[in-house]
Amino acid sequence: MAKVSPQTLMIIFNLQRRLVELIDQAKTAEYNLFEAYGETEETIPELEQLQNGAERLRNPYSRLATLTLAIAEAQPIAPTAMINLLSQTIEQASVTADAVEATTQESKRIWNLP
């Protein structure tokens, strides 16, 4: 039977929650930066970086949901390639989340944003 283990599901759902929270943080920082300083020569690169960070988190979120559903629907067993892709996606999503989180925190610190 094609079934994702409860432990893997917990990892996926926790990671998806983290991705959503980080998207919110990046978009909030982008908004706060724009509201506080506007769109200037100094802020444009930072605004773009925050926007790109949020976009980089959307893909792994969607991929995790799509792969988890596809594995659950695969009968009688999920293809090995699909399971491997899920593992790679979990790893890549975690690395991307760490990078975007660091970038967002750095932007907030530099610009003294809430």
Name the residue ranges covered by the structural domains of the chain. 6-108
Rounded to two decimals, the pTM is: 0.92
**Tokens representing residue 1 in the block:** 């039977």
- Burial (CB count within 10 angstroms: exposed 0-12, middle 13-18, buried 19+), residue 16: middle
Residue of 103, 87, 112 lying closest to 12 (CA atoms): 87
Q: Which helix (H) or strand (E) holds 2?
A: none
Condensed to tens digits (0 to 9), the pLDDT of residues 45-101 reads: 999 999 999 999 999 999 999 999 999 898 888 899 999 999 999 999 999 999 999
What pLDDT band is residue 1 in, cutting at 50, 70 and 90? very low
**Tokens representing residue 66 in the block:** 């799509």
Domain 6-108 has CATH 1.20.1270: yes
